[in-house]
Chain A
Amino acid sequence: MSFLLHQKKAVLGIAILLVLFVLAAFAPIIAPYSPEQRVARSHQPPTIEHIMGTTKMGRDVFSQFVWGARSSLSVGVAAGVAITILGTVIGLIGGYIGGWVDRSLDLLTNAVLVIPNLPLLILLAAFAGTVGPSVIIVIITLTSWPWGARMTRSQTLAIKNREFVIAARMVGESKFRAALVEILPNLLPLIGINLIGSIIFAIVTQTTLEYLGFGDPLHVTWGTMLYNAQNSSAILVGAWWDVAAPCAGIALVGLGLALINFTLDEIANPQLRSGPALSRWVRLTRERAKALEAKR
């Protein structure tokens, strides 16, 4: 964690997420009204009493935003964790065991990867009827693990023949222990990237599904807020605040997580780096080139 704090982008990302998580965690204290009660006239623009305005049904948008953060973030994090675990396990098993197990798992991974994700999710959601948060977590997990599995597999393949793993096996460690104690810790940066990417993906997907009307409309999330706003033609009648609040929430989560992931990615792949260290290096070479030019 400490290395992240030296990176401006990561600090900004963590700060954004902290604010949203605090809002979500203390929703009952922070939200001034109940998110499901009529508290004012419909489609009121933002005022001091209702800082984000009201919906068509006369509900307080800020209260909905805060409660929505609670369910959107918890579904996103839960699904993200589940996707990461499934992807890591499948990638690790395939990459480490090899042979026909690897061939069939790899085949499955690549096959699920090419099936269009959202149409498949919509089909699953449509057949499941109205889906609550737990069903959404399950179907997102079942369809979204292959990215992580593929990354984990190729990294496992790269590590498994390194000396320390072979040495551990020679000393008599079991395959299971070697995978868990020797290889898994070396995958941690990758798992971090996978986790954050999966949380982003889960929140994006959840919002999309709920916007399309597959969520439980009585359960306040950012996705169902968008769905209700769409149904009351909020944008066309000019009630932009009704749409802007959930959009801003989703965009902020995306921004925060993306900034952290960008930093992690640069740490894991130094070749792709664009951060301060590289800028300094570019500046130095430029100055040096100028100095050489001047000498001539």
Chain B
Amino acid sequence: MQAFLRRTSTYCVALAIAIVVNFVLPRLMPGNPVDSMIAQMGQRATPEVVAALRARFGLIDQPIWVQFGGYLKGLATFDLGLSTSYYPRTVVEVLARPLIWTSFLITTTILFSFAAGTLLGALSAWRRGGKTDSILSPLAFVVNSVPPVVFALTTLFVFGVLYRLAPVSYAYDPNLDPGLNGTFLLSVAGHVVLPVLSLAPYLIASFQSTMRSSMISILNEDYVTLGRAKGLSSAAVMFSYGVRNAMLPMLTHLALMLGSIFGGSIVVEVVFNYPGLGMTLFTATLAHDYPVIQGQLMLMTLITLGTNLLVDIIYGLVDPRLKGATS
């Protein structure tokens, strides 16, 4: 319970940092961003919009803590402000649809790379020192050191442009009407292939190295030796005794990785013009749409923290040893 409380307070601090950064940055900005945003909006900048923007950027005649209180109140009611480039839509409205696409993209990627990484990691731990291991393990280190943008551009060129194996832009064929029919779903599936392939190597490598070290320490446990001594088949020892127990740290690792998965998806979405959060963030930065950029960080932080909390709860349920443990 104490460990759970400590982790929850960590998440609260993380949330507080994200909130404070979001609140303070616009007030530190040199020059007068509001004027340029209003100029960009032209006719659409009604007095209400101007007032809302000025409030957001701290250009109103109020003490700072009153402003902060107003900001917190907005956050609590999921009011992240107005988008300047998509006015009159609010930030929440602008981010809602891309959130669905990004969730789809990263869930597919995570399922695929978690399975592949766990399997490869378990295999290289099982064959530690063998040929498989001496190729797989350094490879994971190397793949982990290459940014997703390099994988994305290579995938785009080789599979998208050179061999034209899969579509390279957008999330579905724009000539189709979105709907729950076979053609549309097939188009969606086809369009997600290359983004997933670009995002996956980095994740597979990272899951693989975590699984390998977790599995190696499990394989040294007495119960594994017992399993072998009982005469169980290698596969039974490897999967029911090894992999099953080595999976627990993988959950924590997955939750911790979520932040960098979001980071990777931003790049991959920009390369493949995928209409998710990353693409929205990219267009928002081009248009200097600061409220959307801020909303993005809040949203991604909230999702990451939520997932971490969920993993902590699952962890407590799955691993009874942790109940009442202090560290």
Q: Name A's B-contacting residues (CB within 8 A).
A: 9, 107-108, 110-120, 122-124, 126-127, 129, 200, 203-205, 207-208, 211-214, 226, 230, 235-236, 238, 240, 243, 247, 250-251, 253-255, 257-259, 261-262, 265, 269, 271-275, 278-279, 281-282
A272 to B141, CA, bound (A): 13
Q: Which residue of A lies closest to B158 (CB)?
A: A240
The verdict on B322 contacting chain A, using a C-beta distance below 8 Å, is no
Q: Which residue of B lies closest to A280 (CB)?
A: B129
How many residues from B make CB contacts under 8 Å with A? 67
Query: Are the C-beta atoms of B149 and A115 separated by less than 8 Å?
Result: no
> When A114-B11, A123-B297, A272-B216 are in contact, do A243 and B263 touch as well, CB less than 8 Å?
no
Chain B interface main SS type: helix
Query: Are the C-beta atoms of A124 and B10 separated by less than 8 Å?
Result: no
Q: Which residue of B lies closest to A9 (CB)?
A: B138
A38 to B154, CA, bound (A): 27
Query: Are the C-beta atoms of A114 and B266 separated by less than 8 Å?
Result: no
Q: Which residue of A lies closest to B134 (CB)?
A: A274
Q: What 1/0 mask marks residues of chain B from 15 to 46 whose CB sits below 8 Å from any chain A CB? A: 01110011001101110000000000000000
From A119, A214, A257, give the contact of B300 (CB < 8 A).
Answer: A119
Binds A, one of B110-118, B188-196, B281-289: B281-289
Query: Are the C-beta atoms of A250 and B153 separated by less than 8 Å?
Result: no
From A9, A117, A127, A247, give the contact of B28 (CB < 8 A).
Answer: A127
Q: What 1/0 mask marks residues of chain B from 309 to 323 whose CB sits below 8 Å from any chain A CB? A: 000000000000000
Query: Are the C-beta atoms of A279 and B216 separated by less than 8 Å?
Result: no
> When A116-B300, A208-B147, A212-B285 are in contact, do A258 and B130 touch as well, CB less than 8 Å?
no
The verdict on B207 contacting chain A, using a C-beta distance below 8 Å, is no
Query: Are the C-beta atoms of A117 and B212 separated by less than 8 Å?
Result: no
Q: Which residues of chain B have C-beta atoms less than 8 A from A253's C-beta?
A: 145
Q: Name B's A-contacting residues (CB within 8 A).
A: 9-11, 13-14, 16-18, 21-22, 25-26, 28-30, 124, 128-130, 133-134, 137-138, 141-142, 144-150, 153-154, 156-157, 161, 212-213, 216-217, 256, 258-260, 262-264, 266-267, 270-271, 281-282, 285-286, 288, 290, 293-294, 296-297, 300-301, 304-305, 308
A214 to B142, CA, bound (A): 26
Q: Which residues of chain B have C-beta atoms less than 8 A from A110's C-beta?
A: 10, 13-14
Query: Are the C-beta atoms of B13 and A204 separated by less than 8 Å?
Result: no
Q: Which residues of chain A have C-beta atoms less than 8 A from B17's C-beta?
A: 111-112, 115
Query: Are the C-beta atoms of A122 and B259 separated by less than 8 Å?
Result: no
Q: Which residues of chain A have C-beta atoms less than 8 A from B267's C-beta?
A: 208, 211-212
Contact count A vs B, C-beta below 8 Å: 178
A243 to B153, CA, bound (A): 8
Query: Are the C-beta atoms of B138 and A236 separated by less than 8 Å?
Result: no
> When A118-B263, A274-B133 are in contact, do A213 and B285 touch as well, CB less than 8 Å?
yes
> When A114-B304, A114-B305 are in contact, do A208 and B141 touch as well, CB less than 8 Å?
no
Q: Which residues of chain A have C-beta atoms less than 8 A from B29's C-beta?
A: 127
From B157, B258, B285, B308, give the contact of A235 (CB < 8 A).
Answer: B157
A204 to B142, CA, bound (A): 13
Query: Are the C-beta atoms of A274 and B129 separated by less than 8 Å?
Result: yes
Q: Which residues of chain B have C-beta atoms less than 8 A from A212's C-beta?
A: 266-267, 270, 282, 285
Q: Which residues of chain A have C-beta atoms less than 8 A from B134's C-beta?
A: 274-275, 279
Query: Are the C-beta atoms of B10 and A117 separated by less than 8 Å?
Result: no
Query: Are the C-beta atoms of A115 and B266 separated by less than 8 Å?
Result: no
A113 to B252, CA, bound (A): 13
Query: Are the C-beta atoms of A254 and B142 separated by less than 8 Å?
Result: yes
Q: Which residue of A lies closest to B205 (CB)?
A: A258
Q: Which residues of chain B have C-beta atoms less than 8 A from A200's C-beta?
A: 145
Q: Which residue of B lies closest to A113 (CB)?
A: B256
Query: Are the C-beta atoms of B145 and A255 separated by less than 8 Å?
Result: yes
Q: Which residues of chain A have C-beta atoms less than 8 A from B262's C-beta?
A: 116, 118-119
A230 to B282, CA, bound (A): 14
Query: Are the C-beta atoms of A122 and B128 separated by less than 8 Å?
Result: no
A213 to B256, CA, bound (A): 27
A207 to B263, CA, bound (A): 13
> When A126-B290, A208-B263, A238-B161 are in contact, do A250 and B13 touch as well, CB less than 8 Å?
no
| Distance between A95 CB and nearest chain B CB, rounded to angstroms | 15
Query: Are the C-beta atoms of B129 and A119 separated by less than 8 Å?
Result: no
Q: List 12 A-B contacts (CB under 8 A).
A: A110-B10, A111-B13, A114-B10, A115-B259, A116-B259, A117-B263, A118-B259, A123-B296, A212-B270, A226-B149, A272-B213, A279-B130
Q: Which residues of chain A have C-beta atoms less than 8 A from B290's C-beta?
A: 126-127
Q: Which residue of A lies closest to B31 (CB)?
A: A129
A236 to B164, CA, bound (A): 11
